[in-house]
Amino acid sequence: MGRAARSGKLSDAACRSAAGENFTKRGGAVSENAKPRHALLSDFYAGDCGKLAAKLIGEQIAALWPDLKGMRVLAVGWPFPYLEYLQSAAHVLVATPHFTAAETALLQEKHGAAAIVSLTEDHLPFYTRSFDRILSIHGCEYSANLTDFFGKAEKLLKNDGRIITAIPNSCGLWCGKSAAPFSGGRRVTEARITAVLENSGFAQEYHGQALAFPPLQNKKLLRWAEKWEKTGRFLMPFFCGVHICEARKHILSGAALKPEKRAATAPAGLAGAGAK
């Protein structure tokens, strides 16, 4: 476990200033000459397309978890653009393989309360039953084994704890767009991620989609894409770039519980949240 630094909502400049390790594994191969993943993610979210993606995914997170008061939340991967949706939590810990231990010191204390811990891939060095909620963004798709990743996450959650994961859709419009996040790493179908969650001790309660448009750079097209998003999720969910799943930890180990599906209802003042 690496050195931790106190931080809250991180600025784009702070994220860009930290040079992370080159975790560019795709399909078992490592591209040594590729741009570091943390740099690709930081550049993406600094642009208009990334800001829209963070908004559309973040609205669903806020709708599913409108009140985190008193809870401990673990955010895994590259969750920095989404920390604002976790502000009501008592404590947020970010675990990322995208920074080395020394580099976390570059992330100065801000006005939030997120501790940042660098970690090795597929290793979550925390006590069992430490967290009420886990958010995985740009995390599980780069793990060596999805079932192992979610199995470890299940152990970290308290009884009846919940996890939200955003994972690329193998049939989505973002698939294979090498320069865009949600296009690399492991991509899955809806049936696959549902089965993995259930085999890892979770009962899936919500399955939605986001990014019903391809990665775009043109601002006019992005304005159209935002208006199209809700309709696209409804008419063509199989073409959306990302699966968004919420699952609950089984209270009784090994019990086959039937998932109780629930809708993501937007909190007051938050428009456009929730996938249909």
3-51 pLDDT, tens per residue? 333 333 333 333 333 333 333 333 343 343 467 777 888 889 999 999 9
Domains of the chain (ranges; CATH) run 35-77+126-249 (3.40.50.150)
Rounded distance between C-alpha atoms, residue 133 and residue 167, angstroms: 17
Residues in the chain with pLDDT values less than 50: 1-33, 105, 107-113, 253-260, 267-276
Residue 275 CB contacts under 8 Å (≥ 6 apart), including other chains: 60, 208, 209, 210, 233, 237, 244, 264
**Count of other CB atoms within 10 angstroms of residue 130:** 16
Longest CA–CA separation in the chain, Å: 51
Output the pLDDT for position 30.
Answer: 38
Rounded distance between C-alpha atoms, residue 256 and residue 202, angstroms: 10
Q: Which of 271, 61, 37 is nearest to 165 (CA)?
A: 61
Rounded distance between C-alpha atoms, residue 169 and residue 42, angstroms: 21
Output the pLDDT for position 262.
Answer: 57
Looking at the DSSP assignment, which residues form a beta bridge with residue 172? none
pTM higher than 0.95 for the full model? no
Output the pLDDT for position 259.
Answer: 46
Output the pLDDT for position 49.
Answer: 95
